Structure 1
Amino acid sequence: MTETPGRPLDEGTLRALVPRVLAGLVRRGEDFDSAEDALQEALVEALRVWPDHPPRDPRAWLTTVATRRLVDARRSAGARDRREEATVVAPVPGPTEEGDDTLVLLFCCCSPDLSPASQVALTLRAVGGLTTREIADAFYVPEATMAQRISRAKRDLRGRRLDQPGDLAVVLRVLYLVYTTGHSGRTDLAVEAIRLTRQLTLATAEPEARGLLALMLLNHARRGARWDAEGRIVTLDVQDRSLWDTREIAEGVRVLQSALAAQSPGRYQIEAAIAALHDDATTADETDWPQILAWYDDLVALSDEPLRQDPAAVLGRAVAVGHVQGAGAGLRETDRLSRVLGDRHRWYAVRGYLFELDGDLSAAAAAYADAANRATNTAERDHLVRQAVRIRAAEAGPTIRSVRPARS
């Protein structure tokens, strides 16, 4: 990337540079924590110098200054040797290396030595370029709490050489966690997860990577219809499907077909197939529930203990059973799940939906109210309260169209 001399660099461009420069340093084998500290010093210097003297190649400038800071730090610690002298003149990563650099950094942030929460936080900070405050806001925790989490993650990686490949399954899981964080309202995180996953599919032939990309695309295609003008949740069956991104759906289907062609279906491919069937329906009434149920059967079969390992899958299957075999059959499925899932708000929400489908409005309203009392997400809690109010109003008058709670 080249900037015109004399033209200041905007904040967005500077933010986009940070993970790329950090990735290049880590790719060369620099210690993660030391590399980030050096880059922060380089950024401080950039804020001082660039307004009057913007560089022609900002990435190269930051890399060079950060490298000098690393060498100075090693010299002050008495650790100067031939390798460090070589580092001073190490070539700046070129544009063709940028993708590989970012993936190396991504794998480093997804080290199995870190907790899942730390993996996600460090990925958002180092690869996504978000500030600690932004990450804290995304997870609804105090900034100080998130700062401690990130510091602890970097401390756990201190002294380790981070130039070795990591576990692809862990990376996929972290990317999906990043996506679902954005999917709940912060679209920028969802877009970043899609970008990174798309990049990952170019570096690996693993079909699950393509399955994850397809799943993200097929869900993200509905983003324009998922919230109303007042920021309230709009569930799948009442969304304005003309607002869905048909190009994104088509791409998701193509990617999914490519993944399934490998004949090694995994969790992300199966979830993407379910999402594709929802997206393929012109109206909610045209949804192919028998096929969706078949895919849910395959999804649940992947887990040794699905009730504990994949509660979302077993609850989704109960909804599908309710549509294929009748609401009573779906409710019997939820009865079977009550011992393990009976304290979760989603269990009550599914029960509310199935009771409504079965025509038992009194039980439906009570179940929605119980779900609202247990929900921790404000938008979801407000939605469930509205569901309960709507059902109670329906008991006293004409039936109001059902609004499905289970999938958005």
Structure 2
Amino acid sequence: MTGSHEIEDLLRAYAPRVLGALVRRYGDFDLGEDAVQEALIAATRQWPEGGIPDNARGWLLTVAQRRYIDLVRNEAARRRREDSLSLATPDSELVARAADAPTGDEDDSLALLFLCTHPDLTPASRIALTLRAVGGLTTAQIAAAFLVPETTMAQRISRAKQTIKAAGGGLAQPEGEDRTARLTEVRHVLYLIFNEGYTASAGDDLTAPELSTEAIRLTRLLHRLVPEDTETAGLLALMLLTDARRPARTGPQGELVPLAEQDRGRWDGRLIAEGVDLISRTLAKGQVGPHQLQAAIAAVHDEAESAEATDWPQILVLYELLERTGENPVITLNRAVAVAMVHGPEAGLELLAGLAEDKRLAHHHRLLATRAHLLELLGDDANAAAAYREAARHATSAPERRHLTERARRLG
């Protein structure tokens, strides 16, 4: 028998290549994606017992192509469109052609990433479609990760594919400024997937490791496809340096453990070393963007032997540079913590006062929790406890809510 993890890893690696081959051959992303999903399901059922085929990609392409032909025929029968569909080639010939297809000469993964982050799609649809089409996750897996019913996620994915179909989306890669803008969108989607995995926005678990792991895998893929893009390298470094702390972020009962209280011996030294090396080489190129600066901040945290040894003045300088790359209240929120650690909690609270007027953060639990933390550092336990309780009321993640409630209880 073959291990399930080995099979899952292989299927996720091959999914975009097989889909790209179908879309390139037939020009139909919608049916091609459905066919690939059915091929992946067939593999998960057959490979554990029968073993992984010698030509795994050819096997998947063969099965996906058979499923595609079946889907087209069903569509034709239902809509009476036989005359407009190219179904003249016999199954046997099509299958043989698929089995003999190249196993790695053409990789359409980047084109698929661009397609799944089409500007006509909503952010939620981009995430779902990227995870399914490029990540190879099933609709059920995506729905479970985002804590929504499978039918809801299926409808979201279906609408996304219809939107792409209406827009005439194909595998042609954008060029020039359009390519730069779309690459930014691809990075943004991967970052959103990672963040949801690192700190789940809702539910009983603090993290959804399958999402952060998949985001890292896809970002590695993107970095391989565009090695010259320094922001993609910065994003990968940021994910590695952040995910390295995940083993220490929860206690024995799944409770949240703040950064300052984590057992740094549980951090993943291999990921830290890889992330530090990557961001060090990237920053040396002189083209510094927000992901690179965030990675540099994460590296400073990860390289400190203890919370007390953290180089907060350097972190503050990096946050000041980060703010110059674009207005973002979350960055200002994080800078307020750095300001408090360097210049005292009063200075940090003064910066937070301005953020309280920003509608995007006014009632967000992270702003309220940060205010509570700085009040606690100031020694104002009564107001800190009240702020923690208010933050807990606005938190949607159960572990975060429990953590904030416990902090308030300790302060009385």
Kindly report the root-mean-square deviation, in angstroms, between the aligned alpha carbons of the 2 structures.
2.7
Q: 1:49 to 1:381 in 2, by over 3 A?
A: closer
Q: 1:16-57: per-residue Cα shift (whole Å, max 9, x none)?
A: 454442233234463111102333555677689877898543
Q: 1:107 to 1:191 in 2, by over 3 A?
A: same
1:143 equivalent in structure 2 = 150
Instruction: Please say if residues 30 and 161 of structure 1, whose CA atoms lie closer than 8 Å, have aligned partners that are also in contact.
Output: no
Is residue 2:43 matched to residue 1:35?
A: no
Instruction: Please say if residues 315 and 347 of structure 1, whose CA atoms lie closer than 8 Å, have aligned partners that are also in contact.
Output: yes
1:313 equivalent in structure 2 = 331
Is residue 2:115 matched to residue 1:108?
A: yes
Q: Once the two structures are aligned, what percentage of the paired residues are identical?
A: 48
Deviation at 1:347, TM superposition (A): 1.1
Is residue 2:57 matched to residue 1:59?
A: yes
Where do 1:137-216 residues align within 5 Å?
137-158=144-165, 160-166=168-174, 167-184=182-199, 185-204=207-226, 205-216=228-239
Aligned residues: 378
Q: 1:47 to 1:386 in 2, by over 3 A?
A: closer
Instruction: Please say if residues 29 and 163 of structure 1, whose CA atoms lie closer than 8 Å, have aligned partners that are also in contact.
Output: no
- The more displaced of 359-368 and 191-200 is 191-200
Write the distance in 1 (CA, Å) between the matches of 2:162 and 2:263: 48
Equivalent residue letter for 1:164: A
Deviation at 1:187, TM superposition (A): 1.2
Instruction: Please say if residues 226 and 236 of structure 1, whose CA atoms lie closer than 8 Å, have aligned partners that are also in contact.
Output: yes
Instruction: Please say if residues 274 and 295 of structure 1, whose CA atoms lie closer than 8 Å, have aligned partners that are also in contact.
Output: yes
Instruction: Please say if residues 196 and 208 of structure 2, whose CA atoms lie closer than 8 Å, have aligned partners that are also in contact.
Output: yes
**Pick from 278, 281, 293: which aligns with 1:255?**
278
Instruction: Please say if residues 57 and 103 of structure 2, whose CA atoms lie closer than 8 Å, have aligned partners that are also in contact.
Output: no
Is residue 2:306 matched to residue 1:283?
A: yes
**Pick from 376, 381, 386: which aligns with 1:356?**
376
Deviation at 1:274, TM superposition (A): 0.8
Where do 1:108-127 residues align within 5 Å?
108-127=115-134
**Pick from 87, 104, 117: which aligns with 1:95?**
104
Is residue 2:315 matched to residue 1:292?
A: yes
Write the distance in 1 (CA, Å) between the matches of 2:44 and 2:318: 53
1:271 equivalent in structure 2 = 294
1:79 equivalent in structure 2 = 84
Instruction: Please say if residues 369 and 384 of structure 1, whose CA atoms lie closer than 8 Å, have aligned partners that are also in contact.
Output: yes
Q: 1:278-337: per-residue Cα shift (whole Å, max 9, x none)?
A: 11111111111111111111111222xx2xxx2211100111111111111111111111
2:178 equivalent in structure 1 = none
Deviation at 1:74, TM superposition (A): 5.5
Where do 1:10-29 residues align within 5 Å?
13=7, 15-16=11-12, 17-28=14-25
Write the distance in 1 (CA, Å) between the matches of 2:186 and 2:108: 15
Instruction: Please say if residues 27 and 104 of structure 1, whose CA atoms lie closer than 8 Å, have aligned partners that are also in contact.
Output: no
**Pick from 350, 355, 375: which aligns with 1:332?**
350
Instruction: Please say if residues 9 and 54 of structure 1, whose CA atoms lie closer than 8 Å, have aligned partners that are also in contact.
Output: no
Equivalent residue letter for 2:149: P
Write the distance in 2 (CA, Å) between the matches of 1:44 and 1:215: 33
State the TM-score, normalizing by the size of structure 2.
Answer: 0.84
Is residue 2:340 matched to residue 1:322?
A: yes
Write the distance in 2 (CA, Å) between the matches of 1:52 and 1:316: 52
**Structure 1: 5+ residue stretches without partners:** 1-6, 393-408
- The more displaced of 337-346 and 24-33 is 24-33
Deviation at 1:173, TM superposition (A): 0.5
Equivalent residue letter for 1:172: R
Write the distance in 1 (CA, Å) between the matches of 2:5 and 2:317: 49
Write the distance in 2 (CA, Å) between the matches of 1:56 and 1:386: 55
Is residue 2:229 matched to residue 1:222?
A: no
**Structure 2: 5+ residue stretches without partners:** 77-81, 175-181, 200-206
Deviation at 1:365, TM superposition (A): 0.6
Write the distance in 2 (CA, Å) between the matches of 1:245 and 1:69: 42
Write the distance in 2 (CA, Å) between the matches of 1:54 and 1:325: 59
Q: 1:82 to 1:130 in 2, by over 3 A?
A: closer
Instruction: Please say if residues 232 and 379 of structure 1, whose CA atoms lie closer than 8 Å, have aligned partners that are also in contact.
Output: yes
